[in-house]
């Protein structure tokens, strides 16, 4: 349990299912909690973060 976590817990699945439902700060906190369990490239992490944002925020992010 200490080494692998709870049975059925898969941080990659959590990351792929994570979506912003409230504000960006809450989403960022949830995202960080999951990302800290994984070893991914910075480019992939940024892509995953953007993908989970609400659509209107994604558009603004790409504009700026």
Q: What is the pLDDT of residues 16-59, one digit of tens each?
A: 999 999 999 999 999 999 999 999 999 999 999 999 999 999 99
Contact in structure between 52 and 20 (CB atoms under 8 Å) = yes
> Does 6 fall in a domain?
no
Residue 27 inside a domain? The answer is: yes
* 1, part of any domain: no
Domain membership of residue 5 (yes or no) is: no
Q: Whole domain around residue 56: which residue ranges? A: 11-63
Residue 25 inside a domain? The answer is: yes
46 inside domain = yes
This model's pTM is above 0.85:
no
Comparing 46 with 2, the larger pLDDT belongs to 46
Can you give 3-44 as a three-state secondary structure string?
CCCCCCCCHHHHHHHCCCCCCHHHHHHHHHHHHCCCCCCHHH
Q: Say how many domains are in the chain.
A: 1
In a domain, 50, yes or no: yes
- Per-residue model confidence (pLDDT) at position 60: 87
- With tokens 């944002």, the residue in question is 53
């Amino acid at each position: 349990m200490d080494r692998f976590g709870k049975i059925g817990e898969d941080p990659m699945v959590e990351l792929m299912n994570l979506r912003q439902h409230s504000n960006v700060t809450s989403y960022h906190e949830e995202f960080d909690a999951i990302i800290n369990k994984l070893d991914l490239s910075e480019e992939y992490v940024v892509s995953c973060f953007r993908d989970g944002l609400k659509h209107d925020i994604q558009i603004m992010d790409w504009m700026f």
